[in-house]
């Protein structure tokens, strides 16, 4: 029987990331040996670049969306005996140097989804995207019944029990929301935030996330889940009336005005 006690995998879905993917993967490989890249039908050199590095590459013949790319990676990680999965985007928005801090938080909070929350340097984020993310976090917190600082961050640690919910019926960017709500509501998992930098690079390719379209889809999904679980007022109070769990042992949140009230390690 495969030992799943301590075997983290990194899963990276990507689409047309030829400019960034090599540097992303070199950074990740410095911290984790089990890396799965799911190419979601790229039309550029992304798969050729990935194939030169010591990672597992799985290719979709055509674009199926981020949700299906994550599913493919999760299934492979489960098949290979993962203890959990850390997800990252392939565009360079996430810093692989944050991986040890997320994994450390996962050790401190073993029954938690750990989110790399973009709490540092938020002024770097385009205003429209920041407003959309804040609105999504407000609503998804309600759906989870727990406060979520950055519900749209793609840098997350999922314990194996959450990864096993791979077949949730949700597509594209909604899948990450569905998994977060399910982990909180049905698995009783905590949601812990680790502060990371907000990273946007001039000249980078435009995001595959569409703030209006995708926020509408995520919002509609979340509304239906809030109604499904019931206790609507109690859920709102539980998600907005208590501070979020923030794991920041290094004290990166030094500016009081930028630091939500927090509890935890």
Give the pLDDT confidence of 105-123 residue by residue, as tens digits. 999 999 999 999 999 988 7
Quote the CA–CA distance of 29 and 129 in Å, as a whole number.
30
Shortest CA distance to 175 belongs to which of 161, 185, 165, 188?
A: 165
Residue 254, pLDDT above cutoff 90? no
45 has a pLDDT exceeding 90: yes
Place of tokens 């301590």: 6
Q: What average pLDDT score do residues 16-27 get?
A: 96
pLDDT at 124 over 90: no
Among 145, 155, 152, CA closest to 217: 152
Angle, vertex CA 105, rays to CA 250 and CA 165, nearest 5: 155
Q: Residue 259's pLDDT band (boundaries 50, 70, 90)?
A: very low
Residue entry with tokens 């609105």? 135
d(CA 69, CA 64): 7
Neighbouring-strand partners of residue 199: none
Tell me how far the alpha carbon of residue 210 is from its chain's centroid. 17
Residues sharing a CB contact under 8 Å with residue 148, sequence separation 6 or more, in sequence order: 115, 137, 140, 141, 180, 191, 193, 239, 244
Q: What is the pLDDT of residues 158-191, one digit of tens each?
A: 999 999 999 999 988 899 999 999 999 999 999 9
How many whole angstroms from its chain centre is CA 158?
8
Class of CATH domain 8-249 = alpha beta
More confident residue, 259 or 5: 5
- Each domain of the chain, given as residue ranges in start order, spans 8-249
Q: How many CA atoms, within 13 angstroms, populate the side-chain half-sphere of residue 3? A: 3
**Residue percentage of the chain with pLDDT more than 90:** 77
Separation CA 170–CA 172 (nearest Å): 7
pLDDT tens-place string over residues 81-108: 999 999 999 999 999 999 999 999 999 9
Whether the per-residue pLDDT at 216 is higher than 50: the answer is yes
> Looking at residues 242-257, what average pLDDT do you find?
85
| Distance of alpha carbon 156 from alpha carbon 192, whole angstroms | 10
């Amino acid at each position: 029987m495969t030992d799943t006690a301590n075997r983290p995998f990194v899963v990276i879905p990507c689409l047309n990331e030829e400019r960034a993917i090599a540097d992303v993967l070199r950074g990740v490989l410095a911290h984790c040996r089990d890396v799965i890249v799911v190419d979601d039908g790229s039309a550029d050199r992304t798969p050729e670049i990935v194939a030169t590095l010591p990672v597992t590459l799985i290719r979709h013949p055509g674009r199926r969306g981020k949700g299906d790319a994550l599913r493919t990676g999760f299934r492979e990680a489960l098949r290979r005996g993962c203890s959990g999965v850390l997800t990252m985007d392939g565009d360079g928005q996430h810093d692989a140097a944050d991986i040890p801090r997320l994994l450390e938080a996962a050790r401190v909070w073993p029954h938690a989804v750990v989110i790399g929350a973009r709490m540092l340097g938020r002024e770097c984020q385009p205003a429209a995207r920041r407003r959309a993310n804040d609105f999504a976090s407000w609503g998804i917190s309600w759906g989870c019944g727990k406060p979520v600082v950055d519900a749209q961050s793609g840098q997350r640690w999922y314990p194996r029990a959450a990864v096993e919910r791979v077949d949730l019926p949700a597509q594209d960017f909604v899948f990450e929301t569905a998994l977060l709500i399910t982990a909180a509501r049905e698995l009783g998992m905590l949601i812990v935030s680790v502060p990371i930098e907000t990273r946007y690079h001039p000249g980078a390719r435009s995001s595959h996330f569409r703030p209006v379209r995708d926020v509408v889809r995520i919002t509609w999904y979340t509304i239906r889940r809030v109604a499904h679980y019931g206790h609507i007022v109690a859920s709102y109070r539980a998600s907005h009336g208590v501070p979020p769990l923030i794991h920041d042992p290094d004290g990166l949140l030094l500016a009081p005005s930028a630091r939500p009230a927090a509890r935890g390690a």
